[in-house]
Amino acid sequence: MPSLPRVVVPIAADGSLAPVDIAKSSDGLLELVFLINSEEPESASLAPIASALARTESAPFSDLEACRRAMERCGAGSAQTFVDRYCRLTALLNAVGSERETTWGRKDVQRQLYRMAGVSHTRSRRLHSAECLLGFIAAEGLPVVVKPVDGVASRELWILRNENDVREILQSRSRPENFAGMFAETFIMGQPPHAPYLGDYYSAEVFRDRSGNPFISVLSDRIAPREPANREAGVIFPTHLDNTEAAVLLRTADAAVDALGEHHGAFHVEVKQGVPQPDVIEVNGRLGGFVHRLVLAGTGVDMGRMALLAGLGRAADVRLDWRRCVALLMFQPPVDALRIEAGPNRRELMDLPGVFSVDRLVSHGAVVDGRGENGGALARVWLTADDHDMLHRRVGRVVETLDERFVLVDRNGRRVCDTRWTQQISRHQYKECE
Amino acid sequence: MTVENVAALMAELVKMDYVAPDESFFDVGGTSFLSLTLISRIESDFGVKLSMLDVVRAGTPVNVAELIDAGR
């Protein structure tokens, strides 16, 4: 029996596939070696988990040579990752003896490449100071998006729609060095979604084999983000778009991967139905967040395994036949909320129709972090339903329950209440807070 | 009895009143870190050493209890 390829996988606690799922998905496909960043405080808690699952090496990720030595030590022939911020490192580990440069961690450079390839018309500028940002706004007008060139999971993402938003970012970043590593780009106007509770952008998972052929291309919808900071609110499979509309977006996503010079692997591409043509928000060099669990629940297909297969340059003959619709709801608090005074218990959420998991629930007393990863969601609730209409009703019921049960206060201790988003999601007229 | 005891242990770890026999530990807030504690408690309470992958694959009190009974 031929030996399995040995692959090193840089991991973190916030990857799009958890170490336990990586271990399950790689079973019989490859020999797994986890690589942990010794410079990260979380490595101490991650190490026993990783070691319990597979061989585990540790190295400082800021030292490429040390990581290469770790890879040589364990005899791995290639690297793959599910962590955005490690895509660049992983590409460099795979690029020994190659002249090819990587663009991961350089979203400003990637934007230029999308424009050159014709899959984006979005203009952008690297920022060095407040004046630089104001100059860009003066030239392009609002709205404008400001984010780190190596940003991940909406962290430190700003959408500037009006003068107040501009004032807020300037106040929070009063010194020129606060703009280091940030860039601005014009906001992509999406076409109206199929339903008010959906966002105007889509995510494509594109898995390609060594010859660059996509063997999986699948689109998901997004639940309408909560304003004003456009915090991610969830994912829905399959998409509401018809086959023709979906095919246009999937072709754009595939062309965006080409624009970056990438060949094989798993890619997560965020895209909008723009006017007159789609426009790419960004491409990530890994499986999309939450995709593995949702697709498994909806089709039974192990997307983690498919992603690992693509990373090896191989393909699978697989079809995603949706047995049911699936959604992840990430419940975002109103933007003024600072602290949680009371909240629901996990059991009452688990008992709502269609809910099969509540894997995150922030408890009372906690401080809300609206600019953290995924906008600081207070709850993550996973649902299934027979069709999109049933799924919408179920998501609406969960949002209403969460809105009722979470008691949130602002910095002055006053109850925070903003039901606009709840109404948008549930379609119900919703009672005002007392 | 093993199923009930495993369910009670899981419920204690995820701070819930109960975990149903067919509910996955990871669906009700169980994390990788908590599964290490679960494995350790199973070893001390039942005298059976399970691997992390065993627990992850099994998931529910019913399936974990089967592994424990098989390992005794």
Tell me what the mean pLDDT of segment B60-65 comes to: 97
Q: Domain total for chain B?
A: 1
Q: Which residues of B touch A346 (CB under 8 A)?
A: 14-16, 28-29
pLDDT at A430 over 80: no
Residues of chain B in contact with residue A350, where contact means CB-CB under 8 angstroms, are: 23, 27-28
A404-429 residue pLDDT tens: 999 999 989 999 988 888 889 987 54
Whether residue A155 is predicted with pLDDT greater than 80 in this model: the reply is no
| pLDDT reading at A173 higher than 80 | no
pLDDT digits (tens, 9 = 90+) for A204-247: 999 999 999 999 999 999 999 987 666 889 999 999 999 999 99
Q: By CA distance, what is A357's nearest residue in B?
A: B27
Tell me if A52 and B33 make a contact (CB, 8 A cut-off): no
- CB contacts under 8 A, B 3-62 vs A, are 14-18, 23-24, 26-29, 32-33, 35-36, 39, 51-53, 56-57
Q: Compute the average pLDDT of residues A50-72.
A: 96
- Per CB-CB distance under 8 Å, the chain B contacts of A48 are 36
Q: What is the CA radius of gyration of chain A?
A: 22
Confidence at A99, pLDDT banded by 50, 70, 90: low
Asked whether residue A356 carries a pLDDT value surpassing 80, the answer given is yes
Residue A178 — very low, low, confident or very high, per pLDDT cuts 50/70/90? confident
Closest CA to A406 of A340, A361, A345: A340
For residue B35, the domain's CATH number is 1.10.1200.10
Of A71-85, A92-106, A363-377, give the range with the top mean pLDDT: A71-85
Q: What is the reported pLDDT for A336?
A: 86
Write the burial class of residue A170 (CB in 10 Å: 0-12 exposed, 13-18 middle, 19+ buried).
middle
- The rounded mean pLDDT for chain A is 91
Say if residues A23 and B56 touch (Cβ distance below 8 Å): yes
Residue ranges with strand state E in A106-213: 124-126, 144-148, 158-160, 182-186, 198-208
Instruction: Give B38→chain A minimum CA distance, Å.
Output: 12
Please name the helix (run of DSSP H) or strand (run of DSSP E) that holds residue A259, with its range, or none: helix A243-259
B4-17 pLDDT per residue, tens: 999 999 999 999 99
pLDDT at A285 over 50: yes
Residue of B nearest to A355 (CA): B27
At residue A272, the pLDDT reads 96
What is the pLDDT, as a whole number, of residue B16?
93
Residue A372 has a pLDDT of 53
B70 interfacial to chain A (CB closer than 8 Å): no
Q: Are A228 and A335 in contact (CB under 8 A)?
A: yes
pLDDT on residue A231: 80
Verify whether the Cβ–Cβ distance B28 to A357 is below 8 Å. yes
Give residue A154's pLDDT. 67
Residue pair A108/A124 in contact by the 8 Å Cβ criterion? yes
* pLDDT at position A321: 97
Does residue A140 surpass a pLDDT of 80?
yes
Domains, chain A? 6-94 (3.40.50.20), 123-186 (3.30.1490.20), 198-311 (3.30.470.20), 325-426 (3.90.1170)
Specify whether the CB–CB gap between A280 and A252 falls below 8 A: yes
Chain B hits for A51, Cβ within 8 Å: none
Nearest CA in chain B to A13: B32
Q: Which domain holds residue B62?
A: 2-71
Which of A20, A345, A358 lies nearest to residue B52, judging by beta carbons?
A: A20
**Residues B16, A418: Cα–Cα separation, whole Å:** 29
Residue B50 has which token pair? 């399970």
